[in-house]
Structure 1
């Protein structure tokens, strides 16, 4: 069976030998056979509910479930929801104290802190530690930190993301421009290739206030800044102002006129249509720009590590989606058995071979584990992961409010504001107020 951590053939041999010894010793086979069956199907009659996002990872897991159910004896009932609907559904159910779902997909950096503080995430440290051969140490350290709140592991990573630079190979070759290795080189290359009259913009990325925050984070880290430093808001630091100005200027000077209204679907579609030379975003979106059915430049897309700033090339290396357990589930052991299977090396190898980046380092080192990705992208991910940062937004309970504060600064640059100090100071105060409220435990 795909993905389950017990070797079926070895187990059958062992069970057969044990059954023979019991029969010989006691001469009574009926009870021993029942015991053997119970051992073979440890969750016989159990049923768990799994709630997923409408995500390709879930589509890859579903065909594997019959084998898992046959192996364990449990049944898995699946419900799927769109991203925003998923959060609303979980919030309503958990607020009411519901025992279901038993297992659910969630976004650790978006909902993790709030869910955990509300008592909606079962700590998984002990489960992972007692699982023989599970190999928690095989997971990316940054991905694990992304899913850790107050020192507790609240979920297991299933999808990771790193920031990369997408670029048009043909445009760079025609202009004799090397792939940018620094933010300064990216800005200069975008300037040279910016040609709106021919329908090509130098650069595209997310410009909407909240969505842009995760992508400007790579500029921020590469310039030596962060959203918070030593627990204090730091989005008005010199490093932050330099990073936000660089990102906003790229979109204002060399991006499409509608850039300020773009999230990842709009920016990705514009790049896939051949209307931009450079595009910075998550590696997990690579299929949207390399699928010939949806991209006019599928065979002309290049991938590179995120360009370096004053602090080097530092992008995020995070868990974008994880699996968690409802603390009120009556079948938490069965729920963990499902998670252990779904995140085992064998199952991760299967899902990652289909192009869904997982968190197990061993899988990234296997040829089968990288077969579903362009070789250039694999190298970019490996290089970016070495200095990866475990968050791509402010880590707070009020993530939405924090993102609004950061996004306002960048949007002022996109809109043409040249001196953003006052805006940054005001936004920093707003972020600090969010942090202070959280520290005091105020609702």
Structure 2
């Protein structure tokens, strides 16, 4: 017996002793490097123990790098990944192109338990092409101690005028408190995620039914004017560079009287280990002006199977596990119910343990339930999406418009000039895409 043969036999024996099948399917999973996904990676050993014929291989990237890698791979049919973490923007576009496999849960999966807004946002023609791992909307989070002191009582969904009046009353920069904190950093998923919902509530839309950009319309101007006024008068210095993480740090230090952003923030600002004002936070729905349609966004980080994978059955089995009720229960028992991935299933919000651990649960669910990606604007629109339009050209348009809005906020250009430049950039991209001449 040769040395090479002995080594091969020893390796087979070790694999056998470790409970690993010599012919195990390797499932390559591309995901984002945030807390919920890192936890999924840690708990993956439970899936492997239950499925010894499947080995998980993780490719964990920051958000921008993830988007670039999976987009390049799926568009070129590269076949690097068996499971991809994608969002509500990519899913309808790629599903329609035939780049994703339709998802079909097993008998125990209970697809009817998935929140309707999440299911609809990840489906095309009634077929699901991605399963939500965690979901979110946006809402108003505010310092109740400050509003009580100022005699302010918010309705369940306040108006933007009420928010402006409240910001003026609680703004106290001498004592380190700013009336309101909002995203200003440019990006289609950054300042434009917030500004799109604000504009929706003023009756705006990205494109009319002929795909003509509408960025110089009165509703857009009214929304951006209010936005700039709020942050220049009652916001922290340097707002044009602030994104989620910067504002989260300010809020947890007690420096923001109000914040309108992702519902996922609620779990951080109510955590006494992170927040100095954890016991002073209250919630309301996203503000509106002339309509409540599209006043709060809708997003999910979801798991999908690229059409080119050779391991579709194993990939489906993994997605069924990672987005199941059992997985949420596993996280609850392992790490506590305040740390489960939220925004996906009705049963999570019906769970008394979750309700007790998450003071924001009811407000978060109401926000998610009210968001409709198929009907998010007052005038009829040709696109799917609340805070984005699910067309390939939107990324470039959103980035260009975001830069203009950030410049207007920083005082480097006027609101009118910023909107005009935004309209020009949007028209150029849409004509290039062949939407109209």
Query: Taking structure 2 as the reference length, what is the TM-score of the superposition?
Result: 0.80
The answer to whether the 8 A contact 1:161-1:316 is kept is: no
Equivalent of 2:32 in 44, 53, 59: 53
Determine if the alignment matches structure 1 residue 359 to structure 2 residue 344. Answer: yes
The answer for the alignment partner of 1:176 in structure 2 is 151
Structure 1 residue 87: deviation in Å? Answer: 2.5
Partner of 1:315: 295
Give the structure 2 partner of residue 346 of structure 1.
326
Counterpart of 1:428 in structure 2 is 423
Q: What is the deviation of 1:117? A: 7.4
Q: What residue in structure 2 maps to residue 382 of structure 1?
A: 365
Secondary structure, counterpart of 1:346 in structure 2: helix
Structure 2 unaligned blocks of 5 or more: 1-19, 374-385
Whether the 8 Å CA contact 2:240–2:407 is kept in 1: the answer is no
In 1, Cα distance between equivalents of 2:308 and 2:192: 34
Could you tell me which residue of structure 2 aligns to residue 330 of structure 1? Answer: 310
Compute the displacement of 1:219 (Å): 1.4
8 Å CA contact 1:158–1:319 kept in 2: the answer is no
| Shift in Å, 1:72 | 2.8
Matches within 5 A, 1:33-432: 45-73=24-52, 74-91=54-71, 93-94=73-74, 97-109=77-89, 111-112=90-91, 121-125=99-103, 127-128=104-105, 131-148=106-123, 153-179=128-154, 181-210=158-187, 211-230=190-209, 231-312=211-292, 314-351=294-331, 353=337, 354-374=339-359, 377-390=360-373, 391-408=386-403, 410-411=405-406, 413-416=408-411, 420-432=415-427
1:418–1:58 distance in 2 versus 1, CA, 3 Å: closer
What is the alpha-carbon distance in structure 2 between the residues aligned to residue 243 and residue 291 of structure 1?
32
Q: State the Cα deviation string for residues 407-436 of structure 1 (Å, max 9, x = none).
A: 245335424589634532442242233234
CA RMSD of aligned residues (A): 3.1
User: How far, CA to CA, are the matches of 1:418 and 1:80 in structure 2?
Assistant: 39
Going from structure 1 to structure 2, the CA distance change for 1:156 and 1:201 (only over 3 Å counts) comes to: same
Higher helix share: 1
Shift of 1:239: 2.0
Tell me, what secondary structure is at the counterpart of 1:167?
A: strand
- Cα displacement string for residues 11-66 of structure 1 (whole angstroms, at most 9, x for unaligned residues): xxxxxxxxxxxxxxxxxxxxxxxxxxxxxx99983221222211222233234333
C-alpha displacement at 1:193, in angstroms? 1.3
Aligned-partner SS, 1:432: helix
The offset of 1:338, in angstroms, is: 0.8
Alpha-carbon separation, structure 2, partners of 1:388 and 1:203: 23
Distance 1:365 1:82 in 2: 32
Distance across 1 between alignment mates of 2:126 and 2:286: 30
Change (3 A) 1:133 1:435: farther
Q: 1:53 to 1:386 in 2, by over 3 A?
A: closer
Equivalent-residue separation in structure 1 for 2:129 and 2:95 (angstroms) = 7
Cα deviations across residues 311-345 of structure 1 (Å, max 9, x unaligned)?
13743352331101122211111111111121122
On the 8 A contact 2:342/2:348 being kept in 1, the answer is no
Provide the C-alpha distance between the structure 2 equivalents of 1:183 and 1:148, rounded to a whole number of angstroms.
32
Stretches of structure 1 that go unaligned for 5 or more consecutive residues are: 1-40
Following TM superposition, by how much is the alpha carbon of 1:136 offset from its aligned partner in structure 2, in angstroms? Answer: 2.8
The range that moved more, 141-150 or 289-298, is 141-150
Q: Which moved more, 1:167-176 or 1:407-416?
A: 407-416
After superposition, the Cα gap between the structure-2 partners of 1:364 and 1:196, relative to the gap in structure 1 and judged at 3 Å, is: same
- TM superposition shift of 1:298: 1.9
Q: Which has the larger radius of gyration?
A: 1
